[in-house]
Amino acid sequence: MTTNTKKQEDPMSTVTPTRAPHQDVPTGHKHPEGRVGAGLFDPKQLVKSLPDACRKLDPRVMVKAPVMFVVLVGSVVTTVLAIKDPGDWFGWVITAWLWLTVVFANLAEAVAEGRGKAQADTLRKAKTDTVARRLAGDIEEQVPGTELKIGDLVVCEASDIIPGDGDVVEGVASVDESAITGESAPVIRESGGDRSAVTGGTKVLSDRIVIKITTKPGETFIDRMINLVEGAARQKTPNEIALNILLASLTIVFLLAVVTLKPFAIYAGADKQTSMIVLTALLVCLIPTTIGALLSAIGIAGMDRLVQRNVLAMSGRAVEAAGDVSTLLLDKTGTITLGNRQAAEFVPVRGTTEAEVADAAQLSSLADETPEGRSIVVLAKEKYGLRERHQGELAGAEWIAFTAQTRMSGVDVDGRKVRKGAAGSVIAWVREQGGEVAEDADTLTDRISEAGGTPLLVAVQDDQGARVLGVIHLKDVVKDGMRERFEELRRMGIKTIMITGDNPLTAKAIAEEAGVDDFLAEATPEDKMALIKREQAGGKLVAMTGDGTNDAPALAQADVGVAMNTGTSAAKEAGNMVDLDSNPTKLIEIVEIGKQLLITRGALTTFSIANDVAKYFAIIPAMFAVAYPSLDKLNIMGLASPESAILSAVIFNALIIIALVPLALRGVQYRPMSADKMLRRNLGIYGLGGLVAPFIGIKLIDVLISLIPGIG
């Protein structure tokens, strides 16, 4: 197992801070713009995107997609030839369908970008030219928000719009972030913790905070969101670039092959059947136009599917890397477990009763506002019938608050001192008071730790001296369905590692209950970094989530670093994705979306190359059957005439692009399975489907064309 060799720390050091009212709770909310699913075929969206598709006919834009640029050049060539021979209906029809092929290809990308632009328009409404209350020493001055610089301090009170991205350095406030998350419930932002980051354009609902600006005007989070969802900042990923190079190479090969056909045709006496228009049609049908047309749309749609789940990918590379991830680092608290440990039982040492432990535990927890502290008070009341007491009832009581240094809390009242906290700290306190520790205290704490719980010791000093009364058993509750999710990831070939600050015994028990492959106990930022580097050194891609400044180094090192929107600016800057819902379990969904992107690209590439094979049987016999009658045996589709065969292939080549747009946007359905099994499945469905579909489609189109007088 992956555990630290450092000296074991007591678990009290990981007590969760108090959760404030209205604090961020993952809701699964989606943006209003995302109500139409990424894969739905919406004819209205096609019509709306048509102007954008036509604008993309600019050669300077088309040259970025080599395959479709060749089709554009071919369309121009056939247009010129058709103009020279205006009576050639065949040339005009081929020209029209070649232009439609280019437009359909651009339409696929325009539709994918369309949804992002709709969301970008909504985000722009959140951008307002606010007046900032900047602090200059003790003096407050009003300046335009556009004049703020990194490091400036600004004051925001109720009803103020936050003028820029920054961190809260003073105060606590309720903030409306619906402009960026779509979630109407307010969230708490406060100084000194992992929930200090605020975003420009959001609104303060209550109280007063001082914010330190961390970004320049024009580079705020909302500005970056607009660029990302609109597609303006999308860069081609390494796999996409490699596939573009492959498609360009295939295009060059087929171009050379088609060029050499002309001399053969002249030699064979089939010059009339191999006109420039026919050769251009052949080239367009042979090169991988289908995947060439859909490649950009697939990449944009992948990022859009993340946006639908309130996740912003700062680059397409991150989405692609998510699909290749082989190691997942997951925090225990809030991800694998429900997050708040609950008191499950009070275990007395020999010579003490459960009632005594419960009474002391409740008394020492009255000033403990953590979820654990409140659960102790509730358990003592419900299980042992102790009346819930309040601090105000204990006159003259001196309350001992929990600190990271002491790792204890308690109260001094009526000549008694009661303490509750981490085992090491409480034992040290008892010995400082001159008391003795019961022999079975260590045995009880070890037993609870081995069972996956967190032990807290309860001790008292009174007229009988200082002594340990017993142990409080805090229990982590593993979320329902986590074991099944991890089993699913295992089938995907992904190793899961749980990261926790708990001691190794507790971590091991939780890891076994949850079903993770490995764990890292007593994790520090350096430990996380070392683990990520170790996995990467083995050739693996690593994904992790984080929200604090101490997570920033590991988020930057990970191949996929998902920062929580509630986290610090440092965490969001270090990660290459931001989860607006701040739901750590969403990392599993992100990996699935990444894999779906890669599978979709591979499946449609397979389909595209396979359906090119069928077109050979339509066009080649049509071109050379006159000179070589024996080639007519290759006309296995029984196409009516050379003209209808070539025209049917060109029409099918254009229509299949528009027919596959919904699949490219929705993505191929992903099922967890091994890579070999997935390859066989996709070859069976999309390889065989790519061969069969053109035979059926071209034949149907040929039948319809042959009904037109003068063609059949």
Kindly list the distances between the CA atom of residue 494 and the CA atoms of 74, 469, 528, 543, in Å, as whole numbers in the listed order: 46, 45, 18, 10
What single string gives the DSSP state of each residue in 539-585?
T--EEEEE-SGGGHHHHHHSSEEEEETTS-HHHHHH-SEEETT--TT
Contacts of residue 204, Cβ cutoff 8 Å, sequence gap at least 6: 156, 157, 158, 159, 160, 161, 162, 173, 174, 175, 176
- Which of 225, 365, 382 is closest to 306 using CA atoms? 225
**Taking Cα atoms as reference points, which of 159, 154, 172 lies closest to residue 202?**
159
pLDDT in tens, 463-498: 888 999 999 998 877 777 888 888 888 887 889 998
Q: What is the distance between the alpha carbons of residues 631 and 613, in angstroms, rounded to a whole number?
A: 16
Please indicate whether residue 176 is annotated as part of the active site.
no
Q: Is 408 annotated as a binding residue?
A: yes
Contact 533, 327 (CB under 8 A): no
Contact 145, 217 (CB under 8 A): yes
The sign of the torsion formed by the CA atoms of 336, 340, 344, 345 equals positive
**Residue 359's pLDDT is what?**
87
Q: Which of 156, 250, 237, 235 is nearest to 200 (CA)?
A: 156
404 has binding-site annotation: yes
CA 568 vs CA 196, 358, 609, 610: distances in Å: 6, 39, 47, 49
* Distance in angstroms (rounded) separating the CA atoms of residues 259 and 261: 5
Buried b (16+ CB within 10 A) or exposed e, 78-114: bbebbeeeeeeebbbbbbbbbbbbbbbbbbbbbbbbb
Structure tokens given for 596: 């779906």
Q: Write the CA distances from 337 to 479, 532, 579, integer angstroms.
A: 5, 22, 19
| Residue 625, annotated as binding a ligand | no
Q: Where in the chain do CATH 2.70.150.10 domains reside? A: 130-229
Nearest to 507 by CA among 422, 450, 588: 450
Q: Please state which CATH number belongs to domain 341-477.
A: 3.40.1110.10
User: Residue 547 annotated as binding?
Assistant: yes
**Residue 695 DSSP SS3:** helix
Q: Please state whether beta strands 465-475 and 453-462 pair in parallel, antiparallel, or not at all (unpaired).
A: antiparallel
Question: In the numeric block, which tokens belong to residue 234?
Answer: 């999308």
Contact 508, 517 (CB under 8 A): no
DSSP 337: B
Contact (CB, 8 A) for 453 and 445: no
Torsion angles phi and psi, residue 533, rounded to 5: -65, -35
Handedness of CA 66, 67, 68, 73 (dihedral sign): positive
Establish whether 403 is an annotated binding residue.
yes
Q: In which residue ranges of the chain is CATH 3.40.50.1000 found?
A: 328-336+480-580
10, 223, 331, 559: the active-site residue: 331
Q: What angle do CA 602, 608, 609 make, to 5 degrees?
A: 95
485 is in an annotated binding site: no
The pLDDT assigned to 147 comes to 83
Contact assessment for residue 335 and residue 516, using Cβ atoms and an 8 Å cutoff: no
Cβ contacts of 654 within 8 Å, gap of 6 or more: 97, 98, 100, 101, 104
Judge if pTM exceeds 0.85: no
What DSSP state is assigned to residue 639? -
The alpha carbon of 516 is separated from its chain's Cα centroid by a whole number of angstroms, namely 21
Residues 420 and 451: beta-carbon distance below 8 Å:
no
273-308 pLDDT per residue, tens: 678 888 898 889 889 898 988 888 888 788 778 877
Helix (H, G, I), strand (E, B) or coil at 62: helix
Q: Are 113 and 297 in contact (CB under 8 A)?
A: no
CATH ID of 130-229, from 2.70.150.10, 3.30.70.120, 3.40.50.1100, 3.90.650.10 = 2.70.150.10
Picking from 233, 450, 468, 253, the residue whose alpha carbon sits closest to that of residue 348 is 468
Query: Annotated binding residue at 260?
Result: no
* Dist CA 522 CA 519 (whole Å): 10
Q: Which residues of the chain have pLDDT under 50?
A: 1-40, 232-233
| 372 annotated binding-site participant | yes
Instruction: At 473, give phi and psi (nearest 5°).
Output: -95, 105
Predicted confidence at residue 118, as pLDDT, reads: 62
**Residues 560 and 321 sit within 8 Å (Cβ to Cβ):** yes
- Phi, psi of 506, deg, nearest 5: -65, -45
DSSP codes joined into one string, 260-319 = HHHHHHHHHT-TGGG-HHHHHHHHHHHS-HHHHHHHHHHHHHHHHHHHHTTEEES-HHHH
pLDDT value for 707: 82
Q: Is 581 among the annotated ligand-binding positions?
A: no
Strand pairing class (139-144; 131-136)? antiparallel
Identify any residues that bridge with 461 across adjacent strands, giving them in sequence order.
417, 466
Enumerate the CATH 3.40.1110.10 domain ranges in the chain, comma separated. 341-477
Of 686, 697, 701, the residue nearest 291 (C-alpha): 686
529 among the known binding-site residues? no
Q: Is 219 annotated as a binding residue?
A: no
The CATH class that applies to domain 328-336+480-580 reads alpha beta
Residue 407 labeled ligand binder: yes
Q: Report the C-alpha gap between 327 and 496 in whole angstroms.
A: 6
